[in-house]
Chain A
Amino acid sequence: MKRRAGFFQRLSSTQIVYLVALATLILGVLLVNSIGRSFFSPGNISSILTGTSVLGFIAIGQTLVILAGSLDLSVPYVTSLASLIAAGVMANNPDNVLSAVLLTLGTAAVIGLVIGLIVARLNVHGFIATLGVGLIISGYLATNFKGSFGETPLAFRLIGATGLGPVPISTIIMLACAGLAMLLLHRTRVGHHLYAVGGDIAVARTSGIRVDVPVITAHVICSVLAGMAGLLLASRLGVGSPTVGSQGGYDLLSIAAVVLGGTLLSGGKGTITGTLGGVLIFAMLDNIMSVMQVNPFLKDVVRGVVIVVAVAVYARRRIVSRPERFGTKGSAETPAAQPVPAEGS
């Protein structure tokens, strides 16, 4: 017991995430090989990485929002709307690509700004604000769009269908966005404030931080990244679709991926790298289960169990690695938040 605590203590939560990912990988190799398939074949790797792209974009944004102490449940609808704007404006004309992309991301940013203002200025909990905004967009989509709409030109479709070797372009763009988000978090003042506000808003305010700014920034970026996911989907589908976001269940799945990546749901602590690990774990898990032809209903059972078990492992580490504060007797709550920028990413 002692030794295990020591082992855990030396690992950062991000390292544990990647240990879990490695374990998933080994399991995948064993299972996939057992039915005479190769886990590392280009087709399979490309399939896994494709699975990471859309969820990756959204989960990066969700990480920022969660770090700031909020939540975003509106992402599926923003993603759908983005795919419709993109495909609608492009209308199969390559000349429109740039204006469509700008308009799509601009719209997403405005939605994020509105959410951010509702959360920060009107003091509505992120859960409710984004649930409400999601419902508003969902009604708009259902009323104004009958099935798929618009068409993306061939040049734009290639982004979703092309790869460098087995690595899809979309995954590379997603990783670039992750890099930008990391820079924002670790190299800018807003990034540091984001951690501070998510850690303890009262302390952050006392120390002179304008707490609205990081919260609004996080929501704007999250919506823009949901818009990026919409662009990618428009590229892969060739059309915009009013349901493509909700089809993926990206709201809850992205939150699960973020927490699976070691970020505290209560905010203030976590890394983008960890989130990418969480997304990768999900993508590998889905891939393995698909290759093994697991019954679709049982897939959800496995997902549900893995989320809880993995997070329980990180949580264990948090218990053992923190000096005890309030004595031993069953204190059920570790005061979670500490306004400290995350451990190494």
Chain B
Amino acid sequence: MRNNSVRAIALAAALPLVALTACTTEPSVTQTTGAGTGSPGTNGAASSPASKDWFDQALYDTQFKQRSATFEGNPEQPYLQYIAGPMTDTSKYAAKGPKKVCFANASISNPWRQTGWITMNQQLKALQSSGVISGMETRDAKDNDNTQIADIDYFIAEGKCDAFVISPNSTAALTQAVERACQTGKPVVVFDRGVDTKCATTFIHPIGGFAWGIDTATFLSDKLQSGDKVVALRILPGVDVLEHRWAAAKKIFAEKGIQAKDYFTGADPAEIKKIISDELAAGDVKGVWMDAGDGAVAALEAFEDAGKPLPVMTGEDEMSFLTKWKQTGITAMAPVYSNFQWRTPLLALEKIFKGEQIPTEWVLPQKPILADELDSWLQRNQGMPSGHYAKFGGEDLPGYPQVWQQRQMP
């Protein structure tokens, strides 16, 4: 029996090897099953594996400058504005009639993405009624890289897509899948997080995380004295858009002599309140910095409950924070990671199907809300729920405002 099992184990172990040889001898098989990675071009494109540190001086400098850049286009339509730069010629995609769009979404697991997803769907309705888009098939990867890769491969094989919209779950991991989508010859629009390849027709994003960090940390440093303590509330480690915000802020705090202590909160307000309470018990806290405005209210309530003077604070353009800011009258600013970018990919496709030129890297405005604009933004977003983002940019779309007020999504 021992002998038998050994033989059987050996046989089973050999099986995958046999399978491997079987497939390498049959190149046609690899061709048809989405092994697009086989093309030699991909090797060079996959760029530097992430470094040990999130800080990137070149990117920091670029975004520092972009904060004061002038944007082309109508300021009334910030979702169509861009910084002048190289353009992509899309005349080869010009075509008549409604087109089918396939959207590989990373997830709708936080209020920011949900708000954007609602806006995107209303934009879709507008473009459907104007006959540009016939329909959009969406696959949601639930924050999972592996699922999103499979989603994109499914679209390539089965979707009958005329265009791809991809909101990558992470940068390096999705690079090859995006390249496979590019190889279909259809337009590919990437937005929010980027990928390590330039093959996409356009890459849409607001200025970026470093700009957020620079805006917020400079604001806090200006309002506070050297040696003052700032508590930095971060959602979770390892997400580039969030890590860039902190990397820039940390650098500036260090330069200005601000004492910054960072915590991960999981965006859980109970966690945030405990952290602030503990910090207040240990000593004075003059400022609060957040890498996303979720739970900002709990941070302020911790000061109220402890009977301490309210801090100087940076949150986000989320309604809960703006409302609390107004109520308490604190010294604050709301950095913005422009939520209206969720409209832009579909509008970009409209231009692509017309064959118009579009920016190769489409950098959207990212302008923080300062104290003097607070009232007008609150006014414009009256009746919106606490998880809504003030700069959602969908005021002219069908369904406004009920769809956003009730957070209706398909």
Direct contact of A and B (CB under 8 A): yes
Which residues does A use to contact B, with CB under 8 Å? 37, 41-44, 46-47, 50-51, 54, 87, 91-92, 142, 145-151, 154, 157-159, 161-166, 168-169, 172-173, 176, 179-180, 183, 187-188, 233, 236-239, 241-244, 247-248, 290, 293, 295-296, 299
- B323–chain A nearest beta-carbon distance, Å: 26
Q: Are A173 and B149 in contact (CB under 8 A)?
A: no
The answer to whether B240 and A293 touch across the interface, beta carbons within 8 angstroms, is no
* B406 at interface, CB cutoff 8 A: no
**Which residues of chain A are near B149, meaning CB under 8 Å?**
236-237
A171 to B, closest residue via Cβ: B19
In the complex, A94→B108 CA distance in Å? 37
- Chain B: CB-nearest residue to A50: B150
A148, closest chain B residue (CB) = B172
Q: Does B20 contact A169, Cβ atoms closer than 8 Å? A: yes
| Interfacial chain A residues near B224, Cβ < 8 Å | none
Quick check: B146 and A233 within 8 Å, CB to CB? yes
Q: In the bound complex, how far is the Cα of B273 from the Cα of A281, in angstroms?
A: 42
In terms of DSSP, what is the predominant structure of the interface of chain B?
helix
> How far, in Å, is B40 (CB) from chain A's closest CB?
8
Within the assembled complex, what's the spacing in Å between the Cα atoms of A57 and B70?
A: 53
A158 with B38, Cβ < 8 A, contacts A149-B49, A238-B46, A238-B176 known: yes
CB of A164 within 8 A of CB of B19, answer yes
Given A51-B147, A161-B176, output 10 extra A-B contacts at Cβ < 8 Å: A146-B54, A147-B239, A162-B23, A237-B145, A238-B172, A239-B172, A247-B144, A247-B169, A248-B146, A295-B409
* B residues in contact with A47, CB < 8 Å: 150, 153-154, 157-158
Q: Could you tell me if B16 and A238 are in contact, using CB atoms closer than 8 angstroms?
A: no
Residues of B within 8 A of A (CB): 1, 4-5, 8-9, 12-13, 15-16, 19-20, 22-23, 29-30, 32-38, 42-43, 46, 49-54, 107-108, 137-140, 142-147, 149-151, 153-154, 156-158, 169-173, 175-176, 237-240, 243, 409-410
For the complex of A and B, the 10 pairs showing the least CB-CB separation, nearest first, are A43-B157, A237-B173, A43-B158, A187-B5, A148-B172, A163-B33, A296-B140, A247-B144, A239-B172, A147-B50
Q: Are A172 and B16 in contact (CB under 8 A)?
A: yes
Whether B173 pairs with A241 at a CB distance below 8 angstroms is yes
Contact among A54, A149, A161 with B146 in the assembled complex (CB-CB below 8 Å): A54
Selected A-B contacts with CB under 8 Å, 30 pairs: A43-B157, A44-B158, A147-B238, A148-B171, A150-B49, A154-B42, A154-B43, A158-B35, A161-B35, A161-B36, A161-B37, A164-B19, A168-B33, A169-B19, A169-B23, A172-B15, A180-B9, A183-B5, A183-B8, A188-B5, A236-B146, A237-B173, A238-B46, A247-B146, A248-B144, A248-B146, A290-B154, A295-B410, A296-B142, A299-B142
Q: A150-B49, A296-B107 are in contact. Are A164 and B29 (CB under 8 A)?
A: yes
A23 to B289 CA separation, bound complex (whole angstroms): 53
Q: Shortest distance in angstroms between A328's beta carbon and chain B's nearest beta carbon?
A: 44
* Distance to closest chain A CB from B234 (angstroms): 11
Task: Give, as a whole number of angstroms, the nearest-CB distance from A121 to chain B.
Answer: 28
The residue on A at minimum CB distance from B155 is A43
